[in-house]
Amino acid sequence: MNHGQHSGEAKHEDDAALTEFLASLMDYTPTIPDDLVEHYLAKSGFQCPDVRLIRLVAVATQKFVADVASDALQHCKARPAPVVKDKKQQKDKRLVLTMEDLSKALREYGVNVKHPEYFADSPSTGMDPATRDE
């Protein structure tokens, strides 16, 4: 009996939390605009007139991007910094999103990014001029 009461209370609390969360989505403005999310949803055959559910998808996508970016940032920070003698340059250290960090972060999410290591406009680029003539 007690167990049933407890589970009923817990369910009631969960319901209240869900309602509160859905209500908070009405006031929350995701970074990805509703119209843009709607466009992609409609493109995939998704129909829903409730703006809260569209925002839920927008929030999920925003969280995914933020998680990937923060993981890439951790990879960037964990890399040993190059030795810079100039103090000014040490102060002005800017965080740059590189493909290397991004691919490492995405690998944790099951996305394997392959990118060419080096681009050359012709096979002879970078070769010795003497050998190029031959």
Partner 1 sequence: MKRRRKARVNSEAPPDDQSAAEFSFTLTKVAVSQICLSVGYTSTDTSSTLNTLTLITTKFLQSIAELAASFSNSANRTEANLFDIVNGLQDAALATSDCFPGGSTLHSTESHCLIRSAVLRNLSDFVASAFEIPFAKPLPRLEISGSYGGDSTRAARSRDEMKSIPAWLPPFPEDSSLYRERYAEERSGHLWEKSDSVIGHGTFVEETSGFESCRGRSGGRLPMRRASVRFKVERDWSNGGGGKSDTRLERWRDKFEVKKRIGEEEEYIDCADIDAGEWNM
* Phi, psi of 50, rounded to the nearest 5 degrees: -80, 120
- Taking alpha carbons only, the member of 94, 101, 96 closest to residue 115 is 101
Q: Which of 78, 134, 125 is nearest to 105 (CA)?
A: 78
Contacts of 74 (CB under 8 A, 6+ apart): 105
- On whether the CB atoms of residues 76 and 101 are closer than 8 A, the answer is yes
Q: Which of 6, 8, 9, 33 binds partner 1 (CB under 8 A)?
A: 33
Binding segment for partner 1 among 20-28, 79-87, 125-133 (CB under 8 A)? Answer: 20-28
Q: Which of residues 86-105 bind partner 1 (CB under 8 A)?
A: 94-99, 102
Which of 6, 8, 28, 127 is close enough to bind partner 1 by CB under 8 A?
A: 28
Does 75 interact with partner 1 (rule: CB under 8 A)? no
Q: Is 53 in the site for partner 1 (CB under 8 A)?
A: yes
CA distance 18 to 116: 46
Closer CB to partner 1, 18 or 127, in the complex: 18
Rule CB under 8 A: which residues touch partner 1? 7, 11, 14-15, 17-18, 21-22, 24-25, 28-29, 31-33, 35-53, 56-57, 59-66, 68-70, 73, 94-99, 102, 106, 108-111, 113, 115
